[in-house]
Amino acid sequence: MDTPLPPDLAPLLRAGLAELELDPALDAPLLDYLALLLRWNRTYNLTAVRDPHEMVTKHLLDSLAMHPFVDALAGAGGALADLGTGAGLPGIPLAIAKPGLRVTLVESAGKKARFMREAVRQLRLADVEVAESRIEALDRPGAFDAITARALATLPLLVEWGGPLLRPGGVLLAMKGVVPDEEIAALPDGWGVDAVHALHVPGLPAQRHLVVVRRS
């Protein structure tokens, strides 16, 4: 039998959503996703974070902190690839919050891909697909308007792996902690930083930044 979510999770999530200027009513599908993640995590060890309160902050709100930077993409029905997404972070929370955004969740680990397929099915996320593949093996040249990754690899590696997936003019939206000055300096020729945005994650004192990289 499934353990019910703690009753204080919904108010915690709604307060965070309001702080991020998102509709607090998004709490219902986000908590459905969280409940599924908690259930699968007991067996398949999908994430090291096990406390549901921490999951609200470190997974859901942390993923959604970048939401303003995919607004235009969602409005245009654009395509985003979430590289090395693990259990679907940030891709699934972004897809829930931004209808119209077409999200491809790229993950090579079979158990994580199976979980995400089940989450996509249960949450009825029509614009989300799971690509069970290594990033560098994904044969979709120029298919995406943007790629994103959360705590996955260095900027030079993300560009090497994910750059071929971007259409001309496409961007890498890399979620980082502190500003990665050394990684920025090591970007290969032909790539440059468009902007670095400080992100606010409700309930999380640690630094978070979004680094926007594009072909120069």
Q: What is the 3-state secondary structure (H, E, C) of 116-181?
A: HHHHHHHCCCCCEEEEECCHHHCCCCCCEEEEEEECCCCHHHHHHHHHHHEEEEEEEEEEECCCCH
pLDDT at 88: 97
Domain map (residue ranges) of the chain? 61-215
Of 126, 80, 119, nearest to 99 by C-alpha is 126
> Is the CB of residue 199 less than 8 Å from the CB of residue 178?
no
d(CA 206, CA 149): 18
Q: How far apart are CA 92 and CA 125, in angstroms?
A: 9
- Assign domain 61-215 one CATH number from 3.40.47.10, 3.40.50.150, 1.10.357.10, 2.40.50.140: 3.40.50.150
Indicate whether 2 pLDDT > 70. Answer: no
Per residue in 115-167, pLDDT (tens digit) is 999 999 999 999 999 999 999 999 999 999 999 999 889 999 999 999 999 99
Is pLDDT at 1 greater than 50 in this prediction?
no
Q: Give the closest residue to 26 by CA, choosing from 98, 77, 79, 91.
A: 98
**What's the CA gap between 113 and 119, in Å, rounded?**
10
Integer Cα distance of 102 and 94 in angstroms:
10
Mean pLDDT confidence for 47-52:
86
The label of the residue with tokens 């940030």 reads 90
Question: Are 105 and 130 contacting, i.e. CB atoms less than 8 angstroms apart?
Answer: yes
pLDDT tens, residue by residue, 176-207? 999 999 999 999 999 999 999 999 999 999 99
